Structure 1
Amino acid sequence: MSIEAAIHTLHWHDNNLPIYSLDIQRTSNPVTGTRSARVATGGGDNNVRIWRVNYTETKVESVEYLSSLTKHTQAVNCVRFNPSGDMLASASDDGTIMIWCLSDKIIKEFGNEDDDVKESWYLETSCRSSTLSEIYDISWSPDSKYICCGSMDNITRIFSVATGAMIKQIAEHNHYVQGVTWDPRNEYICSQSADRSVHIYKIVSEKGADLVLSPTTFYKIIRAELPSKSLTTENLKENTESSNMDPPLQTPRHKRTHSNSSTSSSHSIAVSATRSSSPLPAVMPASPNPVYKSLQLYHNETLQSFFRRLTFSPDGMLLFSSSGVFKTDASEENINTVYIHTRFGLNKPPVAHLPGFKKPAIAIKFSPVLYKLLENEKSVFKLDYRMVFAVATQDSVVIYDTQRLKALGIVTNIHYSVITDLSWSSDGQILMVSSADGFVSSVNITHSLVGEVETYSVSEYLSKHKLTNAPANTGQQSSIIDLLSTDATPAPESIGKPGDSVQVIDITTPQPERDTTPEPAPKRPKI
């Protein structure tokens, strides 16, 4: 089996400037044949651009330019379609979030000589704060009534989409807020900052004519006590079948195709049919009485990235946070990782992590569809289905599923500069990746790689499976060290053969309170 990946070498944004974000609109497509989807990109040229991607089961056939949205005055850091796909939000260094809607006719703006425009979008609402601080990341509420953002002034804000009014601002981080995510079950908002922490806020809605969101601090993930030289990790091994996908042979900075449509050559990235060993979370003590070290869980402010894009899984049962670091001793080199929390353990340490990345992870995105469980395979999480997700590091994309938490495929050398964002198509068959080199690439995800799609959708699952026993805010802090002790939790279950084990820790015991207040981090100029 293989992954087909391609770099689309058309003129995405002006002057070869970076593409900081992209998002694929949620649409319904035919089961077979050619399919299409809108893709929005946000660039360093201050513009949002809309494209149509036409693809089949095997590859992206073409990319067609549709429109440019030009009202931002500084670089666009994030673009996101709302869950229903009828609105688009863009966030910029100019400190504004703009909400766009598709017009039923083409609107020619004064002074705009874009003759290739095929559709027009109009500005529905503009959201801004008094500080007009740069906005790094945004996330829609499941009902599309609200949108939250993380800013360079260390504040997380929530805006009303209908009016543009700021509903709430949360000023609890000590450094830039570089990632935000809204729980698909509409109970939590999470933010990740350069202060090396992830904050989780529980949403409280005041009943009345208009809902008023009042998030309260639920838990802060900052540091944990880790056993010295006792946590087993599986790195990316040399026998994991993968291949480098070289970018276009032409010099990328000045020889680009200035056309509005493109067909792209692709390279095959090999993936083992036996699903060979790959980065695995393995958390267990090597001895009954290990020596413990209190260490930070995330990279500090020196990480050269604008983004730390964390995410909930589509069913809301898992939270994945990026830019993680792991080491068993303070003197050892950092291991780049992604930390995983369960919904009922948001106020407790992570249950697993995905180590072995050469570069820090900057974004995680889930396929929007659910997949059937693989037969004769034990599942790490007690779910009736599988979910597939991609981790973007600064120089690679790794695809996993939640049944085994083993890499299904790895794409490397895909861009000349750092990766900035990624997004899945509605059917889960195309994964698109943006980069600071000004290119966008696509990865084709075949059923032979990820398996069969479930007969029900995520929205159907969420509507039929309401949660009634969500965890309460106990105000208690806990750490990995306590959960690893033999008297605190059951022994982890090993899955698979010894060399490919995945160990999962059930969180069952409340832990004593600990001081986890981070030291204030100095500000640094934007790179």
Structure 2
Amino acid sequence: MDHYMPEIFWHDRQALLSVDVFPRLVNDKYRIATSSVQKEIRLWYLHFEQVSMPVLPLAVDFVANLAFHNSAVNQIKFSPTSDAALLASADCDGRVVIWQLNSDSAPPPATEDLPPNKENWVRIKVLNHDSDVSSICWSPDGKYFASVSNDDCLLVHEALTGKRSVSVRNFRHFPNGVSWDPLSKYLVTMSADRKMDLIDAAKGTKLRCFGHTTLPSVRVIQPEAQLEEKQYRLFHDDQLFSFQRGVSFSPCGQFIAAPCAHIESGPADIYGTFIFKREHLDKETPFALLPSPKPTFLVRFCPLVMELLDGDTNLLGLPYRVLFLALTKDSILFYDSQHAHPIGSVENIHYNALTDAAWSTDGRIVVVSSLEGYCSFLRLNLDKWGQQYTGSLEAVAPLSPQLIQTKKKKTKKEKAVTDENALVASDQSPQVTASKSQSKPNALQPSTPKNKPSASASIEKFFKRGHTPKENRSDSSDKKEEDGENVRSEPKRIQLEPAKDQKPGQNDTTGQQQQQPQTGAKRRIQIVTLT
């Protein structure tokens, strides 16, 4: 393995966020794309000079600068089909742009700061989310692409027409990683709420959610810890520093490699990458945990499948060997499907955190980007990694588990048998039916009291002139009102007669002087109180 880090200002010393490699060689050169916080996408040609040296020198040529985005470009992905020559880019404004190589027209003129473009890449579709897009992926046939965003949704569009085919908006927290099943059956997403969701790629139905499971009691060697048999959370929380959670399907589709594995066991924290086998997707427990010294946040698979190595170890039980890498903040860990530990590692090649990685279509080049603005290239000697597998991957593909239980429709015969059995059962238990009917309480019949006072009778008394209601009334009146009797009291006549005229100064019997009354005859005042 050889390491290269060209001293090139890929985006004018700005932090790099994403990198990808075109799915085929162009004139024996690798076409790569880079994006950064500089709002631009740049294309490059990469090749090794054929000279007689132990380490072949690396040459990088500028190809094109694509300027359209108004914010940082989070991720870029080439279409897996090389004939279409499509590139998808997503930014922090929620915009997803589909670019296509146009060989029939000349590229636009060069700007003052950059050399002229050698290829003409034009925009064919511009789509939008409500918030920044964190991850994108292509379907295996290159006709559709999926994007996840901070607006808590997953969208699937047709690349050439922009027609939306799937929309999933009921995520608990925004997803920041997505991958498409090579067998075109599933989509898998990872979110910052420590969950991984399995989704039907055609209908957008959520099939399974992986977030916690019960693990058996086991001893972990590194770090040294003893796991108790209880329920554990599977993935790291949102405190993990990463721009994406790059979950990925294997190229054969037989398992999912999920980064950000984190098991809290007392003072020890166990990090690594979980393996979920396709045939066990109906269960919540991962098949295996591949350990790592630090949290992983991204997985990328080698497009090539290798022959099994000699030995008795075969972790996943596949008839071939799958290679993949996992990124941590400052290291690259290489794994295969045959062993439960890393088979290689590269550490401390950048001063700042790593952000993305991509594998070339021939499996010989790995490109890694970082926040310090530089890219690293790893040149692998595949002869030391094994021989390429030449068999068919479809011949060993197991059936996908049934994740949704569908109700079977009954035929007319089954319905007739069910009805007949129900009638026989009811005829054989008459006593039980009778006892049930007797045990039911009698329904209360509505009844109206015969001598119920009118509704206005109790209120009318509060509107009688000269009458103040009292709580403590006479027993007889209360009883009469309660019995509903028609009580009619006689009108009360009160006569007030003033005293006879007295001489001024004459005192009454109490010795007090009376006031002089007005002259005139007697006055009779009658006050009638109605009841």
Aligned to 1:307: 244
> Does the aligned pair in 1 maintain the 2:350–2:370 contact within 8 Å?
yes
CA distance in 2, matches of 1:442, 1:318: 27
Aligned to 2:218: 231
Describe the shift of the 1:18–1:474 C-alpha distance in structure 2 as closer, same or farther (beyond 3 A): same
CA distance in 1, matches of 2:159, 2:40: 21
Aligned to 1:101: 100
Give the secondary structure class of the aligned counterpart of 2:279.
helix
- Alpha-carbon shift at residue 189 of structure 1 (Å): 0.2
User: C-alpha deviations, 1:252-273, integer Å up to 9, x for none?
Assistant: xxxxxxxxxxxxxxxxxxxxxx
Structure 1 unaligned segments of length 5 or more: list them.
Answer: 204-212, 238-281, 476-527
Aligned to 2:70: 73
Structure 1 position 472 matched with structure 2 position 402: yes
Identity of aligned residues (%): 29
User: C-alpha deviations, 1:473-525, integer Å up to 9, x for none?
Assistant: 157xxxxxxxxxxxxxxxxxxxxxxxxxxxxxxxxxxxxxxxxxxxxxxxxxx
> Does the aligned pair in 1 maintain the 2:98–2:126 contact within 8 Å?
yes
Q: Which one of 237, 256, 260 corresponds to residue 323 of structure 1?
A: 260
Structure 1 position 384 matched with structure 2 position 319: yes
Q: Which one of 136, 143, 149 corresponds to residue 138 of structure 1?
A: 136
Aligned to 2:38: 45
Aligned to 2:61: 64
CA distance in 1, matches of 2:396, 2:308: 21
Specify which structure has the bigger relative contact order, considering alpha-carbon pairs within 8 angstroms and separated by 6 or more residues: 1
Letter in 1 for 2:117: V
- Alpha-carbon shift at residue 403 of structure 1 (Å): 1.5
Letter in 2 for 1:223: H
- Alpha-carbon shift at residue 437 of structure 1 (Å): 1.2
Describe the shift of the 1:29–1:124 C-alpha distance in structure 2 as closer, same or farther (beyond 3 A): closer
User: After alignment, is 188-197 or 52-61 more displaced?
Assistant: 52-61
- Alpha-carbon shift at residue 152 of structure 1 (Å): 1.0
> Does the aligned pair in 1 maintain the 2:101–2:122 contact within 8 Å?
yes
User: After alignment, is 155-164 or 387-396 more displaced?
Assistant: 155-164
CA distance in 2, matches of 1:400, 1:291: 27
Describe the shift of the 1:368–1:468 C-alpha distance in structure 2 as closer, same or farther (beyond 3 A): closer
Aligned to 1:518: none
- Alpha-carbon shift at residue 468 of structure 1 (Å): 7.0
Aligned to 2:411: none
- Alpha-carbon shift at residue 113 of structure 1 (Å): 6.0
Aligned to 1:206: none
> Does the aligned pair in 2 maintain the 1:4–1:444 contact within 8 Å?
yes
Please list, as runs of the form range in 1=range in 2, the aligned pairs for 1:174-189 lying within 5 A after superposition: 174-189=172-187
Q: Which one of 306, 310, 316 corresponds to residue 375 of structure 1?
A: 310
Give the secondary structure class of the aligned counterpart of 1:232.
strand
> Does the aligned pair in 1 maintain the 2:102–2:122 contact within 8 Å?
yes
Letter in 2 for 1:470: S
**Superposition TM-score, scaled by structure 2 size:** 0.70
User: C-alpha deviations, 1:284-326, integer Å up to 9, x for none?
Assistant: xx8xxx8433221111112221210000000000101111102
Please list, as runs of the form range in 1=range in 2, the aligned pairs for 1:27-46 lying within 5 A after superposition: 27-28=24-25, 35-46=28-39
Aligned to 1:257: none
- Alpha-carbon shift at residue 374 of structure 1 (Å): 1.2
Structure with bigger helix share is 2
- Alpha-carbon shift at residue 341 of structure 1 (Å): 0.2
User: C-alpha deviations, 1:377-411, integer Å up to 9, x for none?
Assistant: 43112222111111111110011111123322110
Letter in 1 for 2:30: A
- Alpha-carbon shift at residue 163 of structure 1 (Å): 1.6
Give the secondary structure class of the aligned counterpart of 1:415.
coil
Describe the shift of the 1:116–1:168 C-alpha distance in structure 2 as closer, same or farther (beyond 3 A): same
Aligned to 1:216: 205
User: C-alpha deviations, 1:432-479, integer Å up to 9, x for none?
Assistant: 1011111110111112431112235xxxx35x538573100157xxxx
> Does the aligned pair in 2 maintain the 1:233–1:355 contact within 8 Å?
no
Describe the shift of the 1:442–1:303 C-alpha distance in structure 2 as closer, same or farther (beyond 3 A): same
Aligned to 2:482: none
> Does the aligned pair in 1 maintain the 2:207–2:403 contact within 8 Å?
yes
Give the secondary structure class of the aligned counterpart of 1:17.
coil
- Alpha-carbon shift at residue 9 of structure 1 (Å): 2.0
Aligned to 2:350: 415
Please list, as runs of the form range in 1=range in 2, the aligned pairs for 1:203-282 lying within 5 A after superposition: 203=201, 213-227=202-216, 230-235=217-222
Please list, as runs of the form range in 1=range in 2, the aligned pairs for 1:416-495 lying within 5 A after superposition: 416-455=351-390, 461-462=392-393, 464-465=394-395, 467=397, 469-474=399-404
Describe the shift of the 1:99–1:465 C-alpha distance in structure 2 as closer, same or farther (beyond 3 A): farther
CA distance in 2, matches of 1:307, 1:60: 32
Give the secondary structure class of the aligned counterpart of 1:406.
coil
- Alpha-carbon shift at residue 89 of structure 1 (Å): 0.8
> Does the aligned pair in 2 maintain the 1:127–1:165 contact within 8 Å?
no
Structure 1 position 336 matched with structure 2 position 271: yes
Give the secondary structure class of the aligned counterpart of 1:470.
coil
CA distance in 2, matches of 1:367, 1:381: 17
Greater gyration radius: 2
Letter in 2 for 1:351: F
CA distance in 1, matches of 2:223, 2:378: 20
User: C-alpha deviations, 1:121-141, integer Å up to 9, x for none?
Assistant: 111222223x2x100110101
> Does the aligned pair in 1 maintain the 2:134–2:176 contact within 8 Å?
yes
> Does the aligned pair in 2 maintain the 1:234–1:355 contact within 8 Å?
no
Aligned to 2:199: 201
Give the secondary structure class of the aligned counterpart of 2:47.
strand
CA distance in 2, matches of 1:406, 1:467: 25
CA distance in 2, matches of 1:87, 1:441: 24
CA distance in 1, matches of 2:41, 2:96: 12
Q: Which one of 177, 189, 203 corresponds to residue 191 of structure 1?
A: 189
Structure 2 unaligned segments of length 5 or more: list them.
Answer: 406-531
> Does the aligned pair in 1 maintain the 2:167–2:204 contact within 8 Å?
no
CA distance in 2, matches of 1:381, 1:471: 17
- Alpha-carbon shift at residue 71 of structure 1 (Å): 0.8
User: After alignment, is 180-189 or 5-14 more displaced?
Assistant: 5-14
> Does the aligned pair in 2 maintain the 1:29–1:427 contact within 8 Å?
no
User: After alignment, is 58-67 or 20-29 more displaced?
Assistant: 58-67
User: C-alpha deviations, 1:172-203, integer Å up to 9, x for none?
Assistant: 32222110000010000010000100000123
Describe the shift of the 1:28–1:62 C-alpha distance in structure 2 as closer, same or farther (beyond 3 A): closer
Structure 1 position 353 matched with structure 2 position 289: yes
**Superposition TM-score, scaled by structure 1 size:** 0.71
